[in-house]
Amino acid sequence: EFLEDISYSSTLMTRAAVSKAHAYVTAMKGCNNYCSYCIVPYVRGPERSRTILEIKNDVENMVNNGVSSVMLLGQNIARFGLENHEHLPLLLRTIGKIKGIKRLTFMTSHPRDFSDDIITCFEEIEALVPMLHLPAQHGSNKILKAMNRGYTREDYLEIINKLKATSFWNDLAITTDMIVGFPGEEEQDFEDLISLLEEVRYDNSYSFIYSPRPGTKAYKDYGSKINKELREIYVKRHMKYHDLQNEIAFEKNKNLIGKVVEILVEGPSVKDPNKLSGRTVGGKVVNFERSQKQTVETGNYVMVNITKAHPTHLKGELFND
Ligand code: SF4
């Protein structure tokens, strides 16, 4: 389906989501990387990018229909446009200039392809919000090699250190993907994974226990079954990772208490429809009481005073209500 999808028509590649104000826009599809555990290159095919002009026209049309927040998507968006002699920073600069775009984000960047110019874009482009998903997948060089990720722990930390040296680091919501229990992971490898988490201090991790995917290199090399004893060890390791990540996220969220932040309202809170829910520029969920005085609707931007933190979300009150 994707291989035949050459024209990349706007209707196929764009879907408004979450609220009338926010849209996901696919900038490219496919992946050339062949990480040993991943099925994506086999089912989605090689990288194919839309042109910047096509994406720009698409986003301008959406802005005319009320969209003000856009997330540009691609399996490895850091390699966007190369076959068309274009690149991600040019796309970000072009979309960031569209009048009416208040929030611009992009996902997912492979660390090997993440350039210094992308970091510069965060400094330069007002609409580009401080939010970055940079999948590390592991913290051990042995495991990163077996995963065929194409970078070392040191390469990854070099990017993190460059980000730490910027003016926006303290505001940056940084997230990652991690796989615990990749075949061959020993205690020292897991300690390296934990120490990476401690060094970067992610706002959130999408972490999983390795599961074999038929058709991948890891499946051929290590098979479909995971030894029961090892599985128990991996489950414990994953819990340890998960608990530490929650602790870090909670500490980072607590730093927001007392701050007044801008929220894009997404609609009623899932757990309590009497409350409204929205997201900060860093993508953090904030639930807050509806106002008796102000009319607040889905798609509005409102200022909220953060009053309480949880590991996964925040609570607040409308500012000046
Ligand atoms: Fe590509 Fe990401 Fe899959 Fe690696 S994990 S092959 S970069 S889609």
Chunked mean pLDDT (size 10), the chain, 321 residues: 40 52 91 94 90 94 92 95 96 98 96 98 97 98 98 98 97 97 97 98 96 93 89 97 97 96 92 91 93 86 96 93 78
Q: How far is the centre of ligand 1, averaged over its atoms, from the C-alpha of 224 (Å)?
A: 20
- Please give the radius of gyration of the chain, using alpha carbons only, rounded to the nearest integer: 21
d(CA 38, CA 55) in angstroms, rounded, equals 28
> Is residue 31 in contact with ligand 1, taking CB distance under 6 Å?
yes
What mean pLDDT, rounded, does the chain reach? 92
Residue of 76, 143, 217 to test ligand 1 pocket, by largest number of atoms within 8 Å of CB = 76
| Ligand 1 atom 4, closest CA | 35
> Is residue 177 in contact with ligand 1, taking CB distance under 6 Å?
no
Angle at CA 74, nearest 5°, toward 216 and 113? 80
Q: How far is the centre of ligand 1, averaged over its atoms, from the C-alpha of 142 (Å)?
A: 18
> Is residue 218 in contact with ligand 1, taking CB distance under 6 Å?
no
Half-sphere exposure of 152 (CA within 13 A, CB side): 5
Q: How far is the centre of ligand 1, averaged over its atoms, from the C-alpha of 136 (Å)?
A: 11
51 and 6 Cβ atoms separated by less than 8 Å: no
Q: How far is the centre of ligand 1, averaged over its atoms, from the C-alpha of 46 (Å)?
A: 11
d(CA 55, CA 80) in angstroms, rounded, equals 12
DSSP per position, 148-169: T-S--HHHHHHHHHHHHTSTTG
Residue 16's pLDDT is what?
Answer: 47
Which ligand 1 atom minimizes the distance to the CA of 76? 7
d(CA 164, CA 160) in angstroms, rounded, equals 6
